[in-house]
Structure 1
Amino acid sequence: MAEFIIKMPDVGEGVAEAELVEWHVKPGDPVREDMVLAAVMTDKATVEIPSPVNGVVRWLGAAIGDTVAVKAPLIRIEVVGDGEVTGDAVGIGTNASALAVDEAPPVDAGENDPGAGTPESGAATQGKSAGQTVSVSVALHATPSAMLKPLASPAVRLRALERGIDLRQVEGTGPAGRISHDDLDQFVARGAALPQSGKTLIRKTGVEEIKITGLRRRIAEKMARATARIPHITYVEEIDVTDLEVLRERLNGNRAPDQTKLTVLPFLMRALVRACSEQPGINATFNDDAGIITRHAGVHIGVATQTPAGLTVPVVRHAEALSIWNCAAELMRVAEAARSGAALREELSGSTITITSLGALGGIATTPIINHPEVAIVGVNKIVIRPVWDGSQFVARKMMNLSSSFDHRVIDGFDAATFIQRIKAMMETPALIFIEG
């Protein structure tokens, strides 16, 4: 029999390494040509690695969460023939977000599973060469007394019931672990007894360790980089969107069947376009390593979107060339693509300014983190009805806060405030959004 070695493929764009996020096979599994074996993630996309041959998996070179260098051996497959054949993965399929959970069967935590090294299952040692023995140690624990009915006299049981003490939490020192009054007194003296109400409350001492991998790891790294390198200034402003909401409802009431329903975001996107044309320094990216600010003529708006795999930022490109209806349609399209895992790589990169909104969960104010290397992010808070003084009386108005952060290295507070005040003026008088010039 021969051995076919699959190496970490070069996914392009100068990427020198990738993180292993999925195993679809384990040692001993038969594989067929074009069958997806694994998935790796770069900063831009998830890449599926197919098998170029038929055979049997004999060795996996990394565990989930490991970072693997390009050209490093990743999988060894036993094939018919003699000798050893080395090849890069071919026919690579790319996907712009983490794979959906139901797209790949879970890897059994068996004796050859490279990701089975958890505190609960024991430590798995992955072999580093063909034929090396893989060992798995499993920690066995004695059944705790809390799982058995405690031994105690009726008097001790009654006393424990009156004191609200769960005898399963009391260590008995008598024969066969029998609990005495002295054991109960010592338990109370340690402050271990908890007041009970309605039902027995049991102390929970378990812990769960979760390794950060895949998209969640990318999010963590990006957030850490943004907060460590960018001195944020956050500016919060209250906006009266009563008139805008009236206009939005009228437009939705008269929309064509093929038109996407308008939310507040398309109006904000058009306002951003107008404000960025007046302050091009906001629609910019900052290469802090080179000390270069790049101002962009096109307004490519990233929209922070929650997906089953985590937070992603799909991009509405060239918003300056889109009508409000087209903004709504494109926003829905890229957001749905991100949620379903079908977004292309270019749909998840290249933004020049970002909007973040939690909808009804938006809170009163937030402190958005800038999407590095951009220099500004606009956060939308929820709309609430508040009493507002109009000069003679209080009237009910629909109010919404914008919480926006700016890179204080390149944007002064005055410029940040001017930018938001311009957006405020357009959102409060929505006709200004549609007036050119």
Structure 2
Amino acid sequence: MTIGGRVERAMFGEKFMRRIACLAFAYILFLPVSQGNLLILIMGVCAGFALLTAMITGRALTTPIAAAFALTMLLGLYGLAVDSANPGFWNGAMIFVATPALFFLYISVLGGLVIRDLMHTCAVVTIALGACILVYVATQNGVLPSALFPSAFLEVVGAGYGEKDAASSVRFYGLSTLAAAAPMWLASLFVRKDDYLPGMKLRLAAAGFAVGAALVGGRRAIVLGLLLLPLVVWLLRRVVKRQERSGPRKYHPALVIGVLIAMAVLAPLTPSIVTHPAIANVVNSVMFYITGEARTIAADEAIRADQIDALITHWTSSPVFGHGIGALVPGIVRSDRQPWQFEAQYAVLLMQVGVVGMLIVGALAAVVLYATLRAAALRPSVRPTLIVVLVGGASMLIANATNPYLQAPAHHWAIFLPLAVINYAIREPESVVEPAKDLELAAK
């Protein structure tokens, strides 16, 4: 086969993969739960096209990401092998083995142009999702006509509305996407534009709609991610950008003026912002857990506190090896349909895989940190996008601490999108292909 023929086939595969990836990603973001059969079909189709793209382009996982894949599989297989008779064995196999394997396959073939398209798709869907939630809440409060949304649409998206603890409680299948998307796009406002991020107007719209929808949604796990955003961004900037500091930090005068104006505008609004029910509930929940008074507040917090106690107690009966993925906990049932599911996911993981499994988790975290540093060093131009997607991944992990977000396969996008950027940056460093030229060649 001639070089020209191979390039032509690679370009065809790239274009096809871009379209499939963007459509699938849009669906996953808007309907991350429900319609399980359709989700399985979509992920299967994406796997087929990923294999086709891998054969055409020759792309694969880089060594650090391949090591992360091996450790992820080791964790899942170990947790399943501890006790294959656990009731949740097959559900655990899907979450800990099958779903990560599919996502690692996807990210192995993603190039720069696909990543750029995925970032734009995420911004557009976030705007659409946030707007739908805000408009829906407005219809429920009489601000807008209730007939704006057809009943069939509301049923598909799982829309529902109620009042709880003075904060609106919105039910919307896509609301859980905001656990990663809202902090991600808010963080994007504080990094420079690169070849992969959308323009500032699109990022600003995505951040605005996402934060607005998150606040009216009243989900404490999502709001907690927003409140921790400054700390997360600061830490990630320290990690990702530590190699490039060569002198005193300089700030553009326009940035300083803009910050001062924003502070002047927000200062009078600070009391109302701090006392907003969504934010007050999160702060109160955290303080109650710190002081050990979680059982004295809302019923759901008392349930979480009881679950944590029961999970830790059950773990102590097999602290080294754990009880296996899908194990039950005596006396605690969160769901009659899936009695092996619980709220406090990291306490669940400790109970399931024990100290041995947590050592694997620690090794996995170390490998990902090493890969992140290597990606930032090899391709400095991708650092803004890398920071943004890492914020999304970190926020999803924070939210997963108190809600089983990652027990839904579609929510894994927030974890694997950063790995896709890292894998791409290591596989195609700037010393080999300049990013602008890479995107230009792929678009031809």
Q: TM-score, normalised by structure 2?
A: 0.18
Larger relative CO (CA 8 A, sep 6+): 1 or 2? 2
Structure with the larger strand share = 1
| Greater fraction of residues in helix | 2
Structure of larger gyration radius: 1
